[in-house]
Structure 1
Amino acid sequence: MAFFLFLLLVAVVLGLIGTVAQGLMYLLIIGIVLVVADLAYVGVRWSRRSHHHLLR
């Protein structure tokens, strides 16, 4: 969970720098890619966790 929050924080900071600074649009794109990768990572972990519960 800490890894998720750290990547989300980095993505937000890169996105802010990319929008504020002139000519650093690639930082905004990197921030968006990080958010998408982070959400995919959490989605995979969440779906993997839900399959391990066995009903009795």
Structure 2
Amino acid sequence: MAFNTCVSVIRSASHKAQMIHNQDVQAVSTDVINADELWSFVKKSKSTVNRKS
């Protein structure tokens, strides 16, 4: 299969998955949010920026 064909199929599937995810997540009610992964990303990004300065 050609590279561009694979990329096109993956992008299309990704877009559809994102639409389904967004629709399902809006219906989820939460009382507590766990942001460990987000904190790790922010902390890592901050460290990366500091190293480049």
Q: What TM-score, normalized by structure 2, do the two folds share? A: 0.47
Comparing both chains, which one has the higher relative contact order based on Cα–Cα distances under 8 Å and sequence gaps of 6 or more?
A: 1
